[in-house]
Amino acid sequence: IPELDKASGYGLITNRIKGNMSGNITREEFAEVIVRFYEIYTGEKAQTGNISFTDTTNPEILKAANLGLIKGVGGNKYAPERLIVREEMATILFRALKVINPGEDYSASGDFKFSDDSMIKSWAKEGVYYCSRVGIIKGIQNAEAGSFRFEAEGNSSREAAVIVCTRAYELFVQDSGQSSRKDNHYQTGDTSDTGDTGDTDVTGNMGDSTGEEWNGSLIINDQEYKKDEYVISEIDGESYIFLPYERYKYPFKMPYNGNYTYPDTNLQNGKITTAWKNKDGEVNLEVIMTVDSSVAYLNGQQGDITVSPYYKGDTLYVPINLFIELFSMKVELFQDRLCLQYEDDFPLDILVGSWSYSNVSIFTGYKNLITGEISFPSFDCTYTFNADGTYRIGLASSGPYLPPAILFQTGKYKVIGNTVIYYDVYETLYKGRPLVLQYEKKHMGDRLGFDFINDYDAENDKIRFLDWYNRFESE
């Protein structure tokens, strides 16, 4: 599911729920997710405060209560094991958004009402209708066309709960022009806890024959880390890279591996376990590290990795050089970024051509979409990769409560390893009912885009980025 992949990349999936995303989510589990949402957005650790409950000491619940995001059920109890209902979830998320971005317009204007509006409690209506208006929480289609119900007392799966937080994250973080994560409290070069002798300035040494100079950003597969989002240290002439625990696993995806792209991670009593599974779900690669120890175990075999995971304040930093070595990653300077990518480049003779999510070309039919002559899809996307290194993407989306939008993007691309990097990007955007041109051929500056090629099915000639795309003959 694309939104779950995004949630995983943003760090919104907590350890408690990641093993069973289909089960219904409890009040305790959603409190943990909403605190994670808050901390990722703000880059600050929430505090537990002075609020307490008699039936739980979970610090994440206490943090959520201290922030004003959750309330008890009476009698100084929270009922952590009770399944959360949809109106509670919408209200908690609404409160979180107001705490994070108090200056936003949170009015739930409009005449739309769910068919079961009378079943939504008065204290929940503001949050329900706001989250509905902006498309974070969606209604359930009735048999009658255009009619939706909310089911306020219905439960929610862990998957659905994470997805609504992902929608909120993208609406209120990425659309506001902020970076894809707001972890600006990370400090580059602070190596006092790693055994190094001081800060290391490596940027002045990074250049190539084209005259490019490293701007401090790292790209590891399809994840970009600004220079304040990682730590780098030098010991005996070797550079060691550390990523925050919450983010270290996402670059090290295993392509061509079915549903087991990302590694499973676990942190318990200072022991960090990272395990990759094969297509059958069996662990075939496992790395165990321990905080403040340079001893690591690779599939049970002991070794010394020179540096160790360490805490700085509340942030745990994990050394990733071992993972870079395990995946035989190459290093290349591109667009002033230092790219660490898998050794073998995905073949251009396969990638070149046109690919569609729905077997329909948006490029051909977009004029009819704009005039309304054909119905607008809830989601569709078309890629064309040319042999000369140029590309174009068309993406259309709509929903019951969000205006339709169609985005066209053109520019240049480069394949390094399994990652397609888009640069020198121009965008044209149509939005609204009816569709109205918002801007045309707008240059996106130094911004890069990424797609990771997770798989390729040669028999059916289809490629998987976040989803599967079928090859089609372009116009």
Q: Which of left, alpha, beta for 67 (phi over 0: left; psi -120 to 50: alpha)?
A: alpha
Closest CA to 335 of 223, 474, 182, 446: 446
Residue 19 phi, psi dihedral angles, 5° rounding: -80, -15
Residue 390's CB is within 10 A of a number of other CB atoms, namely: 13
Residue 78 identity (one-letter amino acid):
Y
Class of residue 116 by CB neighbours under 10 A (exposed 0-12, middle 13-18, buried 19+): middle
Cα–Cα distance measured from residue 174 to residue 166, given in angstroms and rounded to the nearest whole number: 11
SS3 annotation, 47-101: CCCCCCECCECCHHHHHHHHCCCCCCCECCECCCCCECEHHHHHHHHHHHHHHHC
pLDDT of residue 24: 94
Cα–Cα distance measured from residue 67 to residue 47, given in angstroms and rounded to the nearest whole number: 8
Closest CA to 338 of 208, 250, 238, 242: 208
CA-based R_g, the chain, Å: 24
Supply 67's token pair: 């922030």
447-468 b/e (C-beta count within 10 Å ≥ 16 → b): ebbebbbbebeeeeeebbbbee
Cα–Cα distance measured from residue 72 to residue 75, given in angstroms and rounded to the nearest whole number: 8
pLDDT of residue 321: 96
- For the chain, domains (ranges, CATH) are 2-174 (no CATH), 203-341 (3.30.457.10), 348-472 (2.40.128)
| Cα angle 227-233-238, degrees, rounded to a multiple of 5 | 120
pLDDT of residue 64: 96
Q: Residue length, the chain? A: 475
Residues contacting residue 258 through CB under 8 Å, at least 6 positions apart: 279, 455
pLDDT of residue 400: 62
Cα–Cα distance measured from residue 466 to residue 452, given in angstroms and rounded to the nearest whole number: 8
pLDDT of residue 11: 83
Beta bridge partners of 330: 341
Residue 380 identity (one-letter amino acid):
D
Cα–Cα distance measured from residue 366 to residue 405, given in angstroms and rounded to the nearest whole number: 11
Cα–Cα distance measured from residue 274 to residue 191, given in angstroms and rounded to the nearest whole number: 23
Residues contacting residue 26 through CB under 8 Å, at least 6 positions apart: 80, 81, 82, 83, 84
Residue 402 phi, psi dihedral angles, 5° rounding: -115, 140
DSSP 119-137: GS-HHHHHHHHHHHHTTSS
pLDDT of residue 365: 65
**Going residue by residue through the chain (475 aa), what tens digit of pLDDT does each one get?**
566 777 887 788 888 898 788 889 999 999 999 999 998 888 788 999 899 999 999 999 999 999 999 999 999 999 999 999 999 999 999 999 999 988 777 887 667 889 999 999 999 999 999 998 888 888 888 888 778 899 999 999 999 999 999 988 887 654 444 433 333 222 233 333 333 323 333 333 344 444 568 888 999 999 999 988 999 988 888 899 999 998 999 999 999 988 788 899 999 999 999 999 988 889 989 999 999 999 999 999 999 999 999 998 889 999 999 999 999 999 999 999 999 999 999 999 999 999 998 877 777 766 666 566 666 677 889 999 999 999 999 988 876 656 788 899 999 999 999 999 999 999 999 988 778 899 999 999 999 999 999 999 999 999 999 889 999 876 5
Beta bridge partners of 223: 220
pLDDT of residue 221: 96
